Amino acid sequence: MDVLLLLTATIFGYILMYRLYGRYIAKRIFNLSDDAKVPSKELEDGIDYVPTRKEIIFGHHFTSIAGTGPIVGPAIAVIWGWAPAIIWVFLGSIVMGGIHDFGSLIISMRNQGKSISEYTSKYINPRTKFLFFLVVFLELWIVIAIFGMVIAIIFNMYPDSVFPVWMQIIVAVALGYYINKVSKNVTLATIIAVSFMYLTVWLGQYMPFTMPGILGIPATGSWTIILLIYAFIASVLPVTTLLQPRDYINAYQLVVAMLLLIIGIFAAAFFSDMHIVAPVYRPNPAEAPSMWPFLFITIACGAISGFHSLVSSGTSSKQVKSENDSLFVGYGSMLLEGSLAVIVIIAVSAGIGLGYEKNGEILTGMSAWSTHYSSWTAAQGLGSKITAFVDGSANMITSSGISREFALAVMGVFVASFAGTTLDTATRIQRYITTELFSSLNINIFKNIYISTFFAVLTAGILAFSTGANGNGALALWPLFGAVNQTLAALALIVITLYLKSKGAYKWMFAGIPAIFMSIMTLWASIINEIDFFNQNNWLLISVNTIVIFVVIIILIEGIIQFFRLNRLSNK
């Protein structure tokens, strides 16, 4: 019953805090107004700037920020115990991630839908804009390059997911065409699309596909090429053609998956005596780094993630049709992602105890959890993280009477689909970033969406294949990703703090306190990483990490100077 108490307390806590804290921030801190001009209407072009119903843009925004992030982070961080993971996810999403995502969204909407990198020059100074662009480009460069490999690994682990994931594209295009060209009956179209989507999940069990090697290129490399081509096409199409409808039905896929998991949690608690088998707190796991500061770097999505600021100020700000919709889209999505992270923590700290296979032996209870999380190395790796979540989830869903085969298929498709939405959204955002950066340098050729998108895909492809035909080149920079991502979150919060400082004496604290916390945690982690990279003689990581630390320190200094300048002006 400890599982049920944990689930109900956190879910009701999120609902309560949305109604109280979220609405307070919207009305009192950001002063939302339906009369305010929004870029989706001012700059409407039918391609990127498209005013959209909040339910549909919510689906796009949520599936774009989620990806595999709220799965892999919690699935590894429970190695320090389930309590630190839950506390960070719950409090982080409410007071840090929520204002980070919502603030990035509303400030972008009040700056013609420009990215956070672009409007940094307005709230700090022009010098910091190019430094911010550097951090953002680095993050998206790694994300695009790595997610081809991520999806390839998922396809290899769960070949049943290949058919339904690709069929979702066809379903999404048909849904977008029907809603925009044939009928405005969104409810009927949604029911048909989601039903057909789950039909393909069921059919996928009978037509698994394993990618063979092609012309000497391993499966991961072949999938990476295919997925980068897909990302290019998806990123130049109008958002209403593929991006919006795909993310929209993926949001319903999430709702169905979460309902199955919640039903499974109740069924497993009552009928299978499921309980939390992970320790409450585990201060010194074998080979693991210190929980402080690495818990706050390991769990990003689900608590706070810098990538979210890119989605908020990249694609979503160009589609939200009213300022009041931004609370539901920005803050609401963050809390829903926190809810998903809570369910993931339950799956890997309780569900895994119902049965975990190791070397042909089925382990249960504490021995199942201890075997999987015996050390930091044992629990590391994308496959290990996804296996813990999918197996734990399937165990819980099976307790409700659904076949294990179908449960595994549903969860495999769920993970692969969300990785796909992150890939195409990240590519589109990199196109925006490239266009803004080169336009500010008067290199206008990159205003062409095909050229800027090709640049985004090409640079990611170079990184992906930098170490060979397997497409795993981005792994060389992957150890930096967690710190870079959370560094971006800290920098975004600094910008939000300065924006709020210009609006009122006390408002800045709602973003300023989280900005201070995240700045300390990320710099702390980056310095520890730098020492480790030196000990490993890894000069690539040393060089890139040094640049990141330098950029962060400069932006912090510039932000502090601007803060006190605003303080002096307000006192005059």
Beta bridge partner(s), residue 356: 363
Amino acid (one-letter) located at 172: A
Taking residues 250-254, report their average pLDDT: 85
CB atoms within 10 A of CB 335: 23
Looking at residue 447, its pLDDT comes to 92
Residues 503-555 have pLDDT tens digits of 877 899 999 999 999 999 999 999 999 999 999 999 999 999 999 899 889 99
Is residue 556 within 8 Å of residue 519, measured between CB atoms? yes
Task: Check pLDDT > 90 for residue 27.
Answer: yes
Where b means 16+ CB within 10 Å and e means fewer, 123-137 reads bbeeebbebbbbbbb
The rounded distance, in Å, linking the Cα atoms of 241 and 24 is 36
Looking at residue 570, its pLDDT comes to 63
Residues 28-46 have pLDDT tens digits of 999 999 999 999 999 999 9
Residues 218-243 have pLDDT tens digits of 998 999 999 999 999 999 999 989 98
CB atoms within 10 A of CB 146: 26
Residues 138-172 have pLDDT tens digits of 999 999 988 888 888 889 888 999 999 999 999 99
Task: Check pLDDT > 80 for residue 571.
Answer: no
Cis omega (within 30 of 0) on the bond before 245? no
Tell me the pTM.
0.93
Cα dihedral across residues 203, 196, 406, 253: positive or negative: positive
**Percent of the chain residues topping a pLDDT of 90:** 64
Q: Which residue ranges form the domains of the chain, and what is each CATH number? A: 2-208+220-571 (1.10.4160)
Task: Check pLDDT > 70 for residue 382.
Answer: no
The rounded distance, in Å, linking the Cα atoms of 311 and 34 is 22
